[in-house]
Amino acid sequence: MTAQNIIHDQLFLSQKSTSANRADLKVAEDLRDTLLANRDKAVGLAANMIGKNKRIIAFYVGLLPLVMLNPQITKKSGEYLTEEGCLSLSGERKTKRYRTITVTYQDMNLNTKTQEFTDFIAEVIQHEVDHCEGILI
Ligand SMILES: [Zn+2]
């Protein structure tokens, strides 16, 4: 379990990530540790930001980091415009988000879960799922 350096290479970050499985749990742990190591500057991370283009994201629910493998947003509602920053980019950029989303994902035990998120956590998840698609704000 080791915190990794943050990638800023936009060409690499523009590639779509591939599905994560049991073999990628080490990447998931590293991502969680990298999020903890950057707790003063990051609210969420995607695995390609540490150089592994697997569909894994990590973010905070309160003080606890939550890791999702293969997150899929299956429902979204309440469109709004906001501005976001990104640890891999400089400055803030305008983007469109949804207030309420439903996400299906696998946890670190590879159990599939479906959960609804709202407001700020929902915004962070949408940002990190975009990273998995190779989309930068
Ligand atoms: Zn980002």
Each domain of the chain, given as residue ranges in start order, spans 10-132
Determine the distance separating the centroid of ligand 1 and the alpha carbon of 126, expressed in angstroms. Answer: 10
The larger pLDDT score, comparing residue 70 to residue 41, is at 70
Model confidence band, residue 1 (pLDDT cutoffs 50, 70, 90): low
Q: In this predicted structure, what is the pLDDT of residue 3? A: 87
What are the Cα distances from residue 4, in Å, to 78, 79, 120?
A: 35, 34, 25
Looking up tokens 């998995």 gives: 132
Determine the distance separating the centroid of ligand 1 and the alpha carbon of 71, expressed in angstroms. Answer: 15
**Residues 7-28, mean pLDDT to the nearest whole number:** 96
**Residues 52-65, mean pLDDT to the nearest whole number:** 95
Q: How many whole angstroms separate alpha carbon 95 and alpha carbon 115?
A: 23
Positions annotated as catalytic residues are 128
Determine the distance separating the centroid of ligand 1 and the alpha carbon of 88, expressed in angstroms. Answer: 6
DSSP 47: G
Q: How far apart are the first and last CA of the chain?
A: 29
List all residues 6 or more positions away from 99 whose beta carbon is below 8 Å from its beta carbon.
77, 78, 79, 80, 118, 119, 122
Question: May I ask the CATH architecture of the domain 10-132?
Answer: Alpha-Beta Complex (3.90)
